[in-house]
């Protein structure tokens, strides 16, 4: 049977959060292209993920950022904020007409426990301005501990999904649910400063309560 799952790219997929997401989606049966500024690092990470999944033919591939973005239907950006603008500009042409899932949080080391907002308001709003109206930018996964994504453990935390267009948010929510997490529609892209700002709050709480995986749950 033909795989009807969208082809994914994880730009920054050799980093802590990116590799965890790539691993989880690979386990769930998605084709994943890992992008890096250093293609050899991406290829090594792809091999590591295939080994962890336990199936040598798992469709996980490593390449440069631009090629990964070109090959994917949905592009996930997981890079430090310091590399956010340059990476977006490098892949801008390849993501036109696609969904870009922005995992980036605008942190300002060393004061990462204090929320900071760029002039645009959020990393997602900044990305939307750089990429233009033909790309739908959607925030997700900002508030999930990267260590849990890489491990084979259930994650008792929810994911807020905010960004351009309800249909686009629904597609991203499906990706969240595919790796065993619960997704919530957190509204339009104007709400992304709130979603991203929660990360500094959670980092502070992790330090205050000697934890490394405090998350959020939504109750009804």
Domains of the chain (ranges, CATH numbers): 8-208 (3.40.50.720)
pLDDT above 90 for 56: no
Task: Check residue 152 and give its pLDDT.
Answer: 84
If one counts every other C-beta atom within 10 angstroms of the C-beta of residue 3, the result is: 10
75 or 152: whose pLDDT is higher?
Answer: 75
pLDDT in tens, 111-135: 999 999 999 999 999 999 999 999 9
pLDDT score of 1? 36
Q: What mean pLDDT do residues 55-68 have?
A: 96
Q: Is the pLDDT of residue 3 over 70?
A: no
> Average pLDDT, stretch 79-101?
98
CA-wise closest residue to 110 among 5, 17, 200: 200
| Entry pTM | 0.95
- Confidence grade of residue 102 (pLDDT, cut at 50, 70, 90): very high
The average confidence (pLDDT) of the chain is: 96
SS3 labels along the chain: CCCCCCCEEEECCCCHHHHHHHHHHHHCCCCEEEEECCHHHHHHHHHHHHHHHCCCCCCEEEEEHHHHHHHCCEEEECCCHHHHHHHHHHHHHHHCCCEEEECCCCCCCCCCCCCCCCCCCCHHHHHHHHHCCCCEEEECCCCCCHHHHHCCCCCCCEEEEEECCHHHHHHHHHHHHHCCCEEEECCCHHHHHHHHHHHHHHHHHHHHCCCCCCCCCCCC
Q: How far is CA 140 from each of CA 50, 96, 101, 194, 209, rounded to the nearest angstrom?
A: 24, 19, 7, 12, 25
pLDDT at 2 over 60: no
Residue % of the chain over a pLDDT of 70? 99
């Amino acid at each position: 049977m033909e795989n009807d799952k969208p082809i994914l790219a994880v730009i920054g997929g050799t980093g802590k959060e990116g590799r965890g997401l790539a691993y989880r989606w690979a386990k769930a049966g998605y084709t994943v292209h890992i992008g890096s500024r250093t293609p050899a690092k991406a290829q090594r990470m792809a091999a590591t993920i295939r080994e962890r999944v336990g199936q040598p033919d798992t469709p996980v591939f490593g390449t440069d950022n631009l090629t990964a973005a070109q090959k994917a239907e949905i592009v996930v950006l997981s890079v430090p904020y310091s590399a956010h603008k340059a990476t977006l500009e490098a892949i801008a042409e390849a993501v036109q007409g696609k969904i870009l899932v922005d995992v980036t949080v605008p942190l300002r080391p060393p004061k990462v426990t204090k929320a900071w907002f760029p002039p645009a308001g959020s990393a997602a709003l900044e990305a939307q301005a750089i990429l233009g109206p033909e790309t739908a930018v959607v925030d997700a996964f900002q508030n999930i501990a990267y260590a849990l994504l890489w491990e084979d453990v259930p994650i008792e935390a929810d994911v807020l999904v905010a960004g351009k267009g309800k249909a686009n948010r629904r597609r991203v929510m499906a990706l969240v649910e595919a790796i065993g997490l619960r997704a919530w529609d957190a509204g339009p892209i104007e709400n992304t400063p709130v979603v991203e700002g929660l990360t500094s709050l959670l980092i502070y709480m992790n330090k205050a309560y000697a934890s490394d995986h405090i998350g959020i749950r939504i109750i009804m």
